[in-house]
């Protein structure tokens, strides 16, 4: 209750009378919410070599909506990380020899268990990262879909028989697992990021060590519990939770240990660069899914209803805290005023701030007060340079933020230069297609991009010209296990999901058979 005490009960009670959304945020912080999850899934120890292990100390996991402590989790350090790597390396010697069908069956069992326990997993996600329960249920379904997908892809890892240049030779290209993979995941989609990476790795025949985000270890440990129930062998899947203070030392082990062959990281571009430097000394294979700064372009020819619906879906999931959230809204002059008006109306009608466990909540808190302060800074900077606040604009209690709509935004403002990770919609007016593309492509990152148009020729031009790894054409939600996920420029390396996702955990071995009789 430290956050509540710091704000003061009297102040909160005054805010309760000030009306929504401040009232909902205040109520969320005053009330005590109880996490009701089946005992086997609420794990608080690390998971190494098929055993639940305690560390010398523990760190608190807090509900970002209230500041209340949910649980205390074992604070693993470099020693536990090394034990996990060693266990994974030992397990790899037998796991790599398992058949594709055996791996497929186990992943399918894990998938079935996720769906069976979807309500409990969703509650863990909501209490850890603050997102509404409906979104958390959607994340669990999305998480499970990767296990289903890679259970199927495990049986489709094909090599090649290549026509040889000589009659006495045969050329075979064989795909083999790289080895132990270190997987470092973010807090905003804790379950989905793990299954997307671990599903691919295990399907390929790799073993893994997962370091979950400091804010969201409980959902990762619940996944480990279900993996154990599914029969995934000891050492194949290991989870090493740790505090923010121990993250650098644990990360160093996972990125430098010579027994680790591959690292997969989702997080900020700045952190990704640090991890790549650490991995370079042993030339590890690396996948990096880093920062985004997604443009959302609305051309004059767009279907206005669809564009507004797409903007709402793309921007306000998890209160704007996803790497593929739209960050810069570029709207052509002919439709600008109507789009802004309709978007404001949709925000009023559809968005409700509150604790994620409340059934009407669509907007939970940001992950911490620092995240809220960043959004406030971007709003203040924009207003100081002439932007108009049409909706919201205020920080509420703790890390709650009002969903905010800004008009008359320019490319000189912070909100158009850096990723927000919050419920802020800055709208820039443009006149020509060339102008929009220049603004959209000016960023040094390129993860996702979205645009709305009914001009077929324009659709092809813009889709090809946008410098991003994923494009939503008249669509605001594009993630699916069947499609590749990843970016260009400083948004990262490699692809996750799709048939290409498993390739990130495979090496191609060339085998030349010579001296054969024709």
Burial class (CB in 10 A: 0-12, 13-18, 19+), 513: exposed
Three-class SS state of 240: coil
Q: How far apart are CA 198 and CA 186, in angstroms?
A: 14
Give the Cα-Cα-Cα angle 215, 220, 226 (nearest 5 degrees): 155
What is the set of active-site residues? Answer: 289, 323
Residues 6+ apart with CB under 8 A from 213: 185, 186, 187, 190
For residues 28 and 354, the answer to whether their CB atoms sit within 8 Å is yes
Closest CA to 469 of 484, 458, 451, 480: 484
Residues 6+ apart with CB under 8 A from 22: 15, 394, 396, 397
Backbone angles phi, psi at 8, to 5 degrees: 95, 125
For residues 295 and 269, the answer to whether their CB atoms sit within 8 Å is no
What are the tokens at 350?
């559809």
Q: How far apart are CA 100 and CA 205, in angstroms?
A: 8
- Alpha-helical (H) ranges within 281-357 are 304-316, 333-350
For residues 64 and 368, the answer to whether their CB atoms sit within 8 Å is yes
What are the tokens at 155?
């049986």
Q: How far apart are CA 507 and CA 204, in angstroms?
A: 10
Q: How far apart are CA 194 and CA 226, in angstroms?
A: 13
Q: How far apart are CA 464 and CA 124, in angstroms?
A: 40
Secondary structure element (H or E) that encloses residue 86, with its range: helix 78-95
Closest CA to 208 of 87, 385, 297: 87
């Amino acid at each position: 209750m430290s956050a509540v005490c710091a704000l003061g009960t009297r102040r909160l009670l005054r805010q309760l009378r000030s009306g929504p959304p401040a009232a909902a945020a205040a109520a969320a912080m005053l009330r005590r919410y109880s996490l009701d999850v089946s005992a086997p899934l609420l794990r608080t120890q690390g998971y190494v070599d098929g055993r639940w292990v305690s560390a010398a100390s523990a760190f608190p996991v807090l509900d970002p909506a209230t500041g209340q402590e949910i649980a205390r989790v074992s604070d693993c350090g470099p020693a536990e990380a090394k034990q996990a790597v060693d266990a994974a390396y030992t397990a790899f010697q037998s796991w790599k020899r398992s058949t594709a069908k055996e791996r497929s069956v186990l992943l399918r069992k894990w998938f079935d268990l996720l769906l069976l326990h979807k309500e409990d997993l969703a509650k863990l996600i909501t209490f850890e990262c603050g997102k509404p329960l409906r979104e958390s249920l959607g994340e669990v379904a999305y998480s499970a879909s990767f296990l289903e997908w890679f259970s199927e892809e495990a049986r489709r890892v094909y090599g090649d028989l290549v026509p040889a240049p000589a009659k006495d030779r045969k050329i075979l290209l064989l795909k083999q697992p790289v080895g132990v993979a270190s997987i470092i995941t973010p807090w905003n989609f804790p379950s989905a990021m793990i299954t997307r990476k671990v599903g691919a790795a295990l399907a390929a025949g790799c073993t893994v060590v997962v370091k979950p985000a400091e804010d969201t270890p409980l959902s990762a440990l619940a996944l480990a519990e279900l993996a154990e129930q599914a029969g995934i062998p000891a050492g194949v899947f290991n989870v090493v939770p740790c505090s923010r203070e121990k993250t650098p030392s644990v990360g160093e082990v996972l990125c430098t240990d010579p027994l680790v062959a591959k690292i997969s990281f989702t997080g900020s571009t700045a952190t990704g660069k640090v991890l790549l430097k650490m991995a370079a000394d042993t030339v590890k294979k690396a996948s990096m899914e880093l920062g985004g700064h997604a443009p959302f372009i609305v051309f004059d020819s767009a279907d206005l209803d669809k564009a507004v619906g797409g903007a709402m879906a793309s921007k306000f999931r998890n209160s704007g805290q996803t790497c593929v959230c739209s960050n810069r809204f570029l709207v052509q002059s002919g439709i600008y005023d109507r789009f802004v008006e309709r978007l404001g109306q949709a925000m009023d009608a559809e968005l409700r701030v509150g604790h994620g466990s409340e059934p009407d909540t669509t907007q939970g808190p940001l992950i911490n007060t620092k995240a809220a302060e960043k959004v406030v800074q971007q709003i203040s900077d924009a207003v100081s340079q002439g932007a108009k606040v049409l909706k919201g604009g205020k920080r509420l209690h703790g890390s709650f933020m009002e969903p905010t709509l800004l008009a008359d935004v320019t490319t000189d403002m912070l909100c158009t230069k850096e990723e927000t990770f919050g419920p802020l919609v800055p709208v820039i007016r443009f006149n020509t297609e060339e102008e929009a593309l220049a603004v959209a492509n000016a960023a040094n990152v390129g993860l996702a991009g979205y645009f709305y148009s009914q001009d077929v020729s324009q659709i092809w031009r813009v889709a090809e010209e946008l410098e991003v790894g994923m494009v939503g054409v008249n669509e605001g939600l594009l993630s699916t296990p069947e499609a590749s996920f990843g970016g260009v420029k400083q948004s990262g390396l490699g692809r996750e999901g799709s048939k290409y996702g498993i390739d990130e955990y495979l090496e191609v071995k060339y085998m030349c058979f010579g001296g054969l009789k024709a």
